[in-house]
Every structure is written in structure tokens, then in C-alpha cells.
Chains A and B, each alone.
Chain A
Amino acid sequence: MRIRCPHCGERDNGEFSYLGDAAPVRPDGPNASAEAMHDYVYLRDNPAGLHRELWYHAAGCRSWLVVTRDTRSHEIHEVAPARDVALSRRRGEVA
């Protein structure tokens, strides 16, 4: 499997490390309910199909990326810098 890093171009997946689902957003700690924290820490969807997930380009540009991957075929549909995703999320845009 290869990942097209938006900074470095197409690279072998051995250069990356996998974190997991990119969807969870950390609840506001002191005010979050126990259920919300439990959900954030432990509960994950396991879709057969498109999955947005975090990868780290450890052996390259050392950037966090959000990769949209089809879990059935490993086909990669989109790779975006996690920084851009976080910034657009902060601005209230859907990301």
C-alpha cells in the first residue's frame, strides 16, 4: 500500500504509522460527562467501506495526515494534512 503524502508525494506505507479513526473529538475535559469521555476514549466505529483515519508520516515530513481509505480494498480516496482538517473544524466548517 502506498500513501500519497500531500507534502512528499507517493510513499511506501512503511514510512507512516497508523493512529486510527480521525473522527473522535476530545470532549471538554472538566465539563464532559463520563459517558462522553468513555465514548471518546474507547468506542470506535468499524465500517466496511470509507474510513477517515490518522496517519503520521514519521520517516518523511513528520506531518499528521487524515487519510480517507476504503477498508475493503485499501483504496485511498483522499489525503489531507491533519492541520488543515483541524483548522477548518475550528472555523466551524464540516471536516
Chain B
Amino acid sequence: MSDVAMVGAEKLESIWKPRSAWAGYARAGRHGRTGGEAGITLTLRDEVGLATLIVADGKEAALDRALEASHGWSLPEAGRAALAGEEGLIWSGPGQWLAIAGTRRRLDGLADAVTGLASVTDQSDGRALVRVSGPCAREMLSKGVAIDLHPRAFRAGSAAVTSIAHIGAQLWQRDDAPTYDLAVARSFAGSFWSWLSHAAAEFGYGVEHGPGR
């Protein structure tokens, strides 16, 4: 691209506006049971950078070193997430991880950094992300997740790929509050929200937009 075109692109205001994966389904505000503190907070996470990594045969140690050098990340073990703040890697299968970062730009250069070691696929527009927190977060999720979320089995840094309401979902626990992040295929956002909003209703829930909007 020429310098002239670059300058032009920066000055142009695009008529295309990003659309939230949850647009048309989730409404900000307080919902469900009225009165008292909301038991659940649902934070809609847009503008997050996501990419899947699949390691080449026998290259896991080299991939670990390359990611440490390029982004300061390390590969988590099976069933774990290695996050610092809003970014890092989440295990999603043997030899497979989900890379997450607070912005898409942060993932620039990821594919180049791991050339020959792993396949990288941008998923930033492919998944719908929601953060589940609040005093009833574990109780609410337990209604739909068929894995043990008790702290003895699933704690901060734990990650799992499973299904919720017959919808493939990846979840990881961020802290002991507990706070969870959930990711589903973007095209399932509406169906997933139908389950989530009904499951959260009995506790009273607040919906808010995360950073980036």
C-alpha cells in the first residue's frame, strides 16, 4: 500500500460500524428478579482480540519459546488458562489454544511470530464473549454446565471446553470471586443468550458493556 493511500485511510471515517455479537439480544440494565442486589453481572465483551493456535507436530516447546519472545505468553497445561490481565492463552484441546487480548491490534504479528510452529486463525469476529460475575455466578452456571465448578475441582486459571444448553462453549475462571468468561460461536449468541438470561433471571442480573464500546 502506498503512503498516500495509508494517509487517506486514516483520515476516512468508515460508514461500517462494528456490531456487537450480542446486539439485538442483550439490553444493558437490570433484569430478572427485582429488589436487592443483583446476583449476576453479565459484561458483554466486544472488541476483544481472539485467535486459535494449533501447534505443528512436535513443535510445542519451540512454540512456547516463540510466544514468550513475541508476546510474553506461556502455553498453559491441559484444562488451564495462562492469563495476565486481559490477555494470554487458554487451553482448548490437545495442541490447541485460544489466544485472547484486550484489543485486536495486540494480536498483530502473532501469525508471523509462530510461522512453521503453529497455525493461527483469527476468531475475533467468530466468537461471542460474556463475563459472568456476581455473588451467584457459580450457582447460576452450575445449572447449565455439566462439569464440577466447585473450587476443589475448578478454580482461578481453570478452563474447559464443554456444552451449555446443547451449545458448544469454552469457559475459564478468572479469579476466586468467582468471575468466569464464556465464549460461544457468534452465530449461537442469540440461542445462548436465551439460556443465559433465563438462567440468571431468578438471581436478578445486570447487563453492562465491557471496555471497547
Contacts and interface: CB of A to CB of B under 8 A. Distances in A.
Contacts of B92: 61
A9 B79 CA distance: 9
Interface string B72-98: 000000110000000000001110100
A11 B93 contact: no
A15 B168 CA distance: 10
A90 to B, nearest CB: 14
B162 A11 contact: yes
A10 to B, nearest CB: 8
A63 to B, nearest CB: 6
B147 A11 contact: yes
B94 A63 contact: yes
Contacts of A63: 93-94
A8 B78 CA distance: 7
A11 B92 CA distance: 15
B162 A7 contact: no
A60 interface: yes
A81 B94 contact: yes
B146 A8 contact: no
A14 B94 contact: no
Q: Top 7 closest A-B pairs, CB basis?
A: A61-B93, A59-B163, A12-B146, A60-B161, A7-B78, A7-B94, A62-B93
A61 B161 CA distance: 6
Interface residues of A, number: 14
A15 B94 contact: no
Contact of B163 (A15, A61, A81, A83): A15
Interface of B: 78-79, 92-94, 96, 146-147, 160-163, 168
Contacts of B79: 7-9
A83 B95 CA distance: 12
Contacts of B161: 8, 59-61
Nearest to A9: B79
Nearest to B169: A59
Nearest to B163: A59
Contacts of B93: 7, 60-63
Given A14-B146, A60-B93, A60-B161, 19 more contacts: A7-B79, A7-B94, A8-B78, A9-B79, A9-B147, A11-B146, A11-B162, A12-B146, A14-B163, A15-B162, A59-B161, A59-B163, A59-B168, A60-B160, A61-B93, A61-B94, A62-B93, A63-B93, A83-B94
Interface in A43-89: 59-63, 81, 83
Contacts of B147: 9, 11
Contacts of B162: 8, 11, 15, 59-60
A9 B161 CA distance: 11
Contacts of B168: 59
A14 B79 CA distance: 19
A36 B208 CA distance: 63
B148 to A, nearest CB: 8
